[in-house]
Amino acid sequence: MHLVENNICPRDILTEKAFKNAMASDMALGCSTNSILHLLAIAHEAGVKIELETINEISERTPNLCHLAPVGNYHIEDLNDAGGIQALLKELSKKDLIDTSLPTVTGETVFENIKNVKNKNTDVLRDIENPHSITGGIAILYGNIAENGSVVKRSAVDETMLKHEGPARVFDSEEDAIKSIYSREIKEGDIVVIRYEGPKGGPGMREMLAPTSALAGMKLDKSVALITDGRFSGASRGASIGHVSPEAAAGGNIAYIKENDIISIDIPNKKIELKVTNEELAKRKSEMSLKPKKELTGWLKRYSKLVTSANTGAVLE
């Protein structure tokens, strides 16, 4: 975030424009789904109201200029050698995709910081006229599974999986899902659903690199999707859809998915749907009980009670 170097509280100077600059930069980089969680939490603490739909709007107009590992063959040190984040900002400024008038910690504006910067390697950091894609790295999906939204790193999704429909394989913990993957119980076309791993259900929304790595290791990352109310590592790839909100532990519809239910994923159109009727969902809610993982005590019990789902940044009420 672009903050003035003085004694003013960041809460007073973190503006919606600064948030949008940060988000546009993230989209151009290809970004991590974790960034959505963090930026929403920062905006909340600063008193700036940001909706998930704002992220879709920014993503739609911001080209993806950089494919760092695991999506591409370049790493953060390569981006640094190409000119770093300042060079990225310079590319975005060519099409007025960021507000260059904002002050920064240098005491200068964004414009003053980047005016003499050059992109030294257009293979690592593509020119704004030659992006990897015309849209950013993140998409927010909505539907009856994720009424308040879910997040996917679409820049890391194989083209064949941008639209996918398949049977649900349902697990109430990360460990159970990993065991099933390594036991070869997951088949091409399946959609792995991991629930009760959100902020409230975890509790704490731990990072789930292991299931996505397991799918990649079993050569299933281009044929199997993963849906969870948990979150992922920046190293994840494939059709990994996280941050499902409301989460299972909060009574979200992900808690009522049954084995072999058909799920439809449409990333270009920002949709994720469980193919059952509203009447069937209502029936399941009356018949199925939520499944907290374990009896919690102390701080974790208080945290689980007070934390909100990922669409808010998993902040405490």
- The pLDDT tens digits of the residues spanning 66-110 come to 988 877 889 999 999 999 999 999 999 999 999 999 988 899 999
pLDDT digits (tens, 9 = 90+) for 240-266: 999 999 999 999 999 999 999 999 999
Q: Which helix (H) or strand (E) holds 215?
A: helix 209-217
Please report the DSSP string for 26-53 in residue order: HHHH---HHHHHHHHHHHHHTT----HH
Residues paired with 228 in a beta bridge:
194
Q: Give 234's pLDDT tier (boundaries 50, 70, 90).
A: low
Regarding predicted confidence, which is higher, 113 or 2?
Answer: 113
Lay out the sheet containing 191-194: strands in order across.
Answer: 138-141, 150-153, 240-242, 225-228, 191-194, 163-171, 262-266, 271-274
Please report the DSSP string for 175-195 in residue order: HHHHHHHHTT---TT-EEEE-
Q: Measuring CA to CA, which residue among 250, 216, 245, 217 is closest to residue 231? A: 245
Q: What is the pLDDT of residue 246?
A: 97
Regarding predicted confidence, which is higher, 8 or 54?
Answer: 54
Name the token pair of 101.
Answer: 């008038």
Separation between Cα atoms, residue 63 and residue 52, nearest integer Å: 19
- Across the range 107-124, mean pLDDT stands at 95
Checking if the pLDDT of 9 tops 50, the result is: no
Regarding predicted confidence, which is higher, 155 or 144?
Answer: 144
Based on C-alpha coordinates, what's the Rg of the chain?
20
User: Over pLDDT 90: what percentage of the chain?
Assistant: 69
Q: Is 202 exposed, middle or buried (0-12, 13-18, 19+ CB in 10 A)?
A: buried
* 305 alpha-carbon distance from chain centroid: 24
Separation between Cα atoms, residue 62 and residue 133, nearest integer Å: 9
Distances (CA, A) of 110 to 2, 14, 43, 105: 8, 14, 20, 10
State how beta strands 191-194 and 150-153 pair.
unpaired
Separation between Cα atoms, residue 317 and residue 239, nearest integer Å: 31
Which residue out of 35, 233, 236, 240 is catalytically annotated?
A: 233
Q: Measuring CA to CA, which residue among 238, 140, 246 is closest to residue 192? A: 238
Q: Is 15 exposed, middle or buried (0-12, 13-18, 19+ CB in 10 A)?
A: middle
- Across the range 12-39, mean pLDDT stands at 83
Tell me whether residue 233 is one of the annotated catalytic residues: yes
Report helix angle 209-217 to 174-182, nearest 10: 10
